[in-house]
Structure 1
Amino acid sequence: MKILINGIQSNLRFSSAHIIPGHSSCGFIHGHSYFVDVEIEGERAGEFEFVVDFKDVKGYTKELCNTLDHRLLIPIFNDLIEFKEFNPSEDSIDELVNSKVARFKIAGKGYSVPSEDCVFLELPYTSAEELSKYFAEKLASKLAEKYDNLTSVSVCVNEGIGQGAVYTKSLVE
């Protein structure tokens, strides 16, 4: 059985700025008002024969949205971003999080942004595709703590009405 949660109607949204280094139009800092749709498949189980409690899914997803809301999303595993005083392959992401200022260059342009205004993501890009995978994996991990009847978690991260990317995380081997 499958359950669906519509991000617009369930207020699963966030607004963030990001940059896609090297892209002709998305290579500049810009932002989106994102919304997140969730689809979960699994067997009905438990006292009420739910696939999963909607309240849990919406709560966990909203927590993820809140961590990204009104922040600059920075993909630390992008080879086109040159960080000052941080090496993504050697240093802990905590060093960036705990620093006062994030300093980096993209295509020769220098940026200096208060770290508290940023979310540093262990991703190569902050595209809708990568964000949908990020959400699906985080949500699947959180739901697995409480549910053992789920077979997949799909998340669509929409950059606006009519355009989004879907990633499905299988929970069966």
Structure 2
Amino acid sequence: MKILVNGIQSNLRFSSAHVIPGHESCGFIHGHSYFVDIEIEGERAGKFEFVVDFKDVKKYTKAICDELDHRVLIPVYNKLIDFKDFDIETDSIFELKKQKTISFKIDGKGYSLPSVDCVLLPLPYTSAEELSKFFAETLSRKLAETYDNLDYISVCVNEGIGQGAQYKKEFVE
């Protein structure tokens, strides 16, 4: 059986700024009002024969949305971003997160932002494709703590009405 959670109607939303280094039009800092749709398939199980409790799915997803909301999303593992005092080959993302100011260059343009205004993501890009994978991977780990009856989770991160990217993560036994 499959369950669906509509991000707009369930208030699974966040607004963030990001940049896609090297992209012709998305290579400038810009923002989106995102919403997140979720599909989960699995066997009905437990006392109430749920596939998964909607309350859990919405709570975990909302927590991720809240972390990203009103922040600048920075893909730490993008080779076109040159961070000050950080080498992606040798340094830990946790060291970068300790800095009070995140300073970096993209194609010679310098940026310096308070770290509290940023979310440093272990991603190569902050595209809808990578964000949908990030949500699916994060949610699958959290749901696996409680549920052993799930086949897959599919997450669509929408950059606005009519355009988004969907990633499907299979649960393996």
1:152 aligns with 2:148: no
Deviation at 1:98, TM superposition (A): 1.2
Deviation at 1:89, TM superposition (A): 2.1
1:77-156 aligned at under 5 Å gives the runs: 77-156=77-156
Report the residue type matching 2:154 in the other structure.
S
Report the residue type matching 1:78 in the other structure.
N
What's the counterpart of residue 21 of structure 1? 21
| Structure 2 Cα separation of the partners of residues 42 and 155 of structure 1 | 15
State percent identity of aligned pairs.
Answer: 75
Tell me the C-alpha RMSD between the 2 structures.
0.7
Structure 1 residue ranges without an equivalent (≥5): none
Which consecutive aligned stretches of 4+ in structure 1 deviate over 4 angstroms post-superposition? Answer: none
What's the counterpart of residue 3 of structure 2? 3
What's the counterpart of residue 171 of structure 2? 171
| Structure 1 Cα separation of the partners of residues 137 and 69 of structure 2 | 19
| Structure 2 Cα separation of the partners of residues 8 and 115 of structure 1 | 29
| Structure 2 Cα separation of the partners of residues 98 and 172 of structure 1 | 35
Structure 2 residue ranges without an equivalent (≥5): none
TM-score computed with the length of structure 1 as normaliser: 0.99
TM-score computed with the length of structure 2 as normaliser: 0.99
Deviates more, 1:34-43 or 1:95-104: 95-104
Deviation at 1:92, TM superposition (A): 1.4
Asked if 2 retains the 8 angstrom alpha-carbon contact of 1:82 and 1:105, the reply is: yes
